[in-house]
Amino acid sequence: MALAPVVVCLGEALIDRLGPQGSDPAVDQPVDDRLGGAPANVACGLARLGTPVAFAGRLGQDAIGEAFSRLFAERGVDTTLLQRDAERPSRIVLVRRARDGERQFQGFDGDQGAGFADQALEPVALPPARWLLIGTLPLATPTSASALLSAVRQASSQGTAIALDVNWRPTFWDATADPEAGPSAAAKTAIQPLLQQAALIKLAREEALWFFHTDDPGAIQQALPQRPDVVVTDGAAPVRWQLGAESGQQVAFQPPVVVDTTGAGDAFTAGLLHCWSAAPQERIRFAAACGALVCGGAGGIDPQPTQAQVEAFLGEVS
């Protein structure tokens, strides 16, 4: 019998189409298609680390949907809440990779006129869990926004803590937007209620500046009524954190080689939730190791580490 999930990850599962380094994935070959999407990445990362987890999302009745079904089964992710869409395809995201491994999300492929399956996510019956992990991308479409907000209300009523990874991606809100653009006033208004309900908020530094005009996690904590735990990441720069009354910085670990940074933040989130019962500094350190190890391979899921691999890595860098 499967264990009840400790974490429910709700949101998008999709293909990251990685272009050749320094080239355009829309036209240049060869491309490398990798299963991804932040909530799906976190779910798979948690499962590999050993935390019982469920994924709530919507995929097409297509080869991508079948590939995710196989992946979730292999990892042991609970798919009771996984929906399939006979009309809309699974989403393909075009990812431009710089030669140093950094990436930029530049658009989509596969839309046949009705949008993508993840945009049509229907409300789910949220099971009891310790955490509901969400991002902001479902808010970009009315139907999936309704499903997300329904889950948040259920989490609040049953005592499930909300972990929010802001994960701002302008092209999801407007396919023609500059991939480097910040959130519009309308997007900020839509996202604000999530910021005010989350028990844990993870932001990239630029997201912190856009939403709070500061990258100080302590100041962000004090700016919100619920006084959440706050983690601010900044690529290869140190992670800054405020967990309860404790705060600090964690130097970003470097893997032996950087192949692709896709999914590093999601691996970090998975590591953080996996070891939440540890002391604050140890949570962040473990999470940082998870993020570093994912950069050593292509895609956000295949290189995800086991707990033993993380502990071995930390033993080498300490």
Mean pLDDT of the chain: 92
The full set of domain ranges for the chain reads 7-244
d(CA 150, CA 38): 20
Alpha helix locations (H) across 159-278?
170-173, 185-195, 205-212, 217-223, 264-274
231 to 175, 217, 266: CA distances (angstroms): 29, 6, 13
Q: 178: which strand partners?
A: none
Q: Lowest-confidence range among 34-48, 51-65, 134-148, 165-179?
A: 165-179
d(CA 271, CA 104): 24
Cβ neighbours around 36 below 10 Å, total? 24
pLDDT at 98: 60
**3-class DSSP state for residue 266?**
helix
Element (H, E) at 132: strand 131-134
Q: What is the signed CA dihedral for 67, 47, 141, 83, rounded to 10 degrees?
A: 50
pLDDT at 112: 83
- The alpha carbon of 194 is separated from its chain's Cα centroid by a whole number of angstroms, namely 15
Is residue 233 over pLDDT 80?
yes
Tokens of 137: 């991308």
Cβ neighbours around 128 below 10 Å, total? 12
Q: Would you place residue 54 in the very low, low, confident or very high pLDDT band (cuts 50, 70, 90)? A: very high
Fold for 7-244, please state it.
Answer: UDP-N-acetylmuramoyl-L-alanine:D-glutamate ligase (3.40.1190)
Is residue 193 over pLDDT 70?
yes
d(CA 305, CA 289): 9
Tokens of 100: 């140093």
d(CA 272, CA 318): 19
77 with 47: CB under 8 angstroms?
A: yes
CA quadruple 179, 90, 134, 96: dihedral sign? negative
In percent, the amount of the chain with pLDDT more than 70 equals 92
- Residues across the chain: 318
pLDDT at 31: 79
d(CA 193, CA 198): 9
Q: Lowest-confidence range among 128-137, 173-182, 207-216, 279-288?
A: 173-182
147 with 57: CB under 8 angstroms?
A: no
Walk across the sheet containing 14-18 and list its strands: 32-36, 14-18, 92-97, 103-109
d(CA 57, CA 44): 13
**3-class DSSP state for residue 104?**
strand
